[in-house]
Amino acid sequence: MRHFFIIFVLLLLTACDDGDIITVDLEFDKELDLCTNNTNSFLIYDTREDPNESLSLIIPRGANEEFPFTEATPVDDPTEFNINESSVRFLYRTYNRSLGNNELCELVPSGDLTIIEDYEAENGGTVLATVTVMDDDNDGIPNIFEDRNGNGDLTDDDFDLDGIPDYQDQDDDNDNVLTVDELNDNDDDDDPTTNPLDTDNDGTPDYLDTDDDGDGVPTIDEDSTDTQSPRNLSNRNNDENGELEYHYLNPLENTNYGPIEHIGGNTYTRTVTVNFLVTGANLEILSGTDIDFGTLTYDIVIEE
């Protein structure tokens, strides 16, 4: 695991007269975890061992809010939280032993766990949360490549005119074959537009082609099982090479089994990444320093 290092050298007022410099070495990996078992707040935290430490951020949780963020935010307009020692808190703690997985999420702490040092940021600091969603519908095509008209507005690109913008549509051409199953990215550049799967070589990639094999029968209607799934294994026969191939990808099979309805619905998993920057936090041991708290990543299921 890649580790990042934050080293803070701070002068503290102490009872000592020798003017010692106290160094606090915060060596966290910045890969944050999330607790969701409190109905009023989210706890976002990072931990490490040797010494046994934690950095924690508490932010408010709205009613029926399953996750703290679901949509991307502009880099120049992050969500802002003001540290107030009540609904928004930032804490540094050390413990008598190492922390187990998700132990900070337990409502009743383990009896053998003791907090040794406990510091909390005073009022006045700010937490900036920048939310990134690279591929809203997780269909294998990053959002940037679903702006087909190139105007910077993802909401007005809707190839199949079903009312769902392409960047949030799991089946961009409404042919009952999910977009993620109609891609070819063998060059591993995360850009399916540079090497698109185009079965019939008509210049239109399969994920935007309603007749993938160019046999005159719409892909959606090449479903002999009427299961609203052209990729049902029963929808295969031999191609020109004598190998089993799906009807909708085999120009030798041009039977129209339709009309078949679109499967309907739009359910997919979205990966959300949130980076937290803490500024101006007076944490006694960390005063007025910008802290790259780290990155929180989680998946949410979207049903439309």
Q: Verify that 161 and 251 share a domain, yes or no.
A: yes
Query: Within a domain: residue 205?
Result: yes
Contacts 24+ apart (CB under 8 A), 165-171: 167/136, 167/137, 167/141, 167/143, 168/136, 168/137, 168/266, 168/302, 168/304, 169/137, 169/139, 169/266, 170/137, 170/139, 170/266, 170/267, 170/268, 171/262, 171/263, 171/266
Q: How many domains does the chain have?
A: 2
Query: Within a domain: residue 177?
Result: yes
Q: Verify that 259 and 279 share a domain, yes or no.
A: no
Q: Verify that 182 and 225 share a domain, yes or no.
A: yes
Q: Verify that 125 and 150 share a domain, yes or no.
A: no
Those residues of the chain that have pLDDT short of 70 are 1-26, 185-190, 287-288
- Looking at residue 192, its pLDDT comes to 75
Q: Verify that 167 and 259 share a domain, yes or no.
A: yes
Query: Within a domain: residue 22?
Result: no
What span, in angstroms and rounded, lies between the C-alpha atoms of 185 and 48?
38
- Looking at residue 113, its pLDDT comes to 94
SS3 readout for 195-248:
CCCCCCCCCCCHHHCCCCCCCCCCHHHCCCCCCCCCCCCCCEEECCCCCEEEHH
Q: Verify that 165 and 261 share a domain, yes or no.
A: yes
Query: Within a domain: residue 109?
Result: yes
User: Could you give the angle at the alpha carbon of 222 between the alpha carbons of 216 and 225, nearest 5°?
Assistant: 160
Q: Verify that 67 and 97 share a domain, yes or no.
A: yes
- Looking at residue 190, its pLDDT comes to 65
- Looking at residue 25, its pLDDT comes to 54
Domain holding 41, by residue range, is 27-134+270-303
Q: What is the pTM of this model?
A: 0.80
| Count of CB atoms situated within 10 Å of the CB of 228 | 14
Query: Within a domain: residue 181?
Result: yes
Beta-carbon contacts of 169 under 8 Å, excluding residues fewer than 6 positions away, are 137, 139, 158, 160, 162, 179, 266
Query: Within a domain: residue 90?
Result: yes
Q: Verify that 144 and 124 share a domain, yes or no.
A: no
Query: Within a domain: residue 11?
Result: no
